[in-house]
C-alpha cells in the first residue's frame, strides 16, 4: 500500500531521498501524519540520522492511546489499527532502505 517509492529504491536506483519517501508514505496515509515526519526532515541533514530518528518517532507514535489520536489528527481521525499498520509499513521500508549502504544509494534530484 505505502511501498511504491521504497520499492523503486530497492530495485536499483533510489528515485527519492529516503526522507522524502517516508514523508510521501505518511502523506498517503494522512496529511497530518506528514507533519510529524516532515518536522524531522528539517532537523537532520544526514539521511541516516533522519531515518534513525524516524524509527524513534514511529516507536513513540505507536505508544499513543486511542484517546490521544485527536492530538495528532484533528480531522478524520483514523482507527488505531490503521494508524499502526501505516507506521509498521513505513518502519519496514525504512529498515529495507537502511540495509542499502549509503554509498550505494543514488538520488534523482
pLDDT digits (tens, 9 = 90+) for 23-40: 889 999 999 999 999 988
- Helices within the chain (DSSP H only): 4-10, 18-29, 31-43, 47-62, 69-72, 80-98
Grade residue 20 by pLDDT with cuts at 50, 70 and 90: confident
pTM (2 d.p.): 0.80
**Are the beta carbons of 41 and 32 closer than 8 angstroms?**
no
Q: Which helix (H) or strand (E) holds 44?
A: none
Cell of 107: 538520488
Grade residue 47 by pLDDT with cuts at 50, 70 and 90: confident
Grade residue 77 by pLDDT with cuts at 50, 70 and 90: very high
Grade residue 82 by pLDDT with cuts at 50, 70 and 90: very high
Would you kindly state where each structural domain of the chain is located, as residue ranges? 4-104
Amino acid at each position: 500500500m505505502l511501498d511504491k517509492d521504497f520499492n523503486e529504491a530497492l530495485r536499483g536506483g533510489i528515485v527519492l531521498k529516503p526522507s522524502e519517501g517516508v514523508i510521501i508514505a505518511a502523506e498517503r496515509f494522512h496529511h497530518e501524519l506528514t507533519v510529524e515526519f516532515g518536522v524531522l526532515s528539517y532537523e537532520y541533514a544526514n539521511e541516516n540520522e533522519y531515518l534513525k530518528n524516524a524509527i524513534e518517532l514511529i516507536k513513540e507514535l505507536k505508544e499513543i492511546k486511542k484517546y490521544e489520536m485527536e492530538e495528532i489528527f484533528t480531522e478524520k481521525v483514523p482507527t488505531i489499527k490503521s494508524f499502526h499498520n501505516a507506521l509498521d509499513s513505513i518502519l519496514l521500508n525504512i529498515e529495507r532502505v537502511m540495509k542499502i549502504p549509503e554509498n550505494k544509494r543514488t538520488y534523482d534530484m
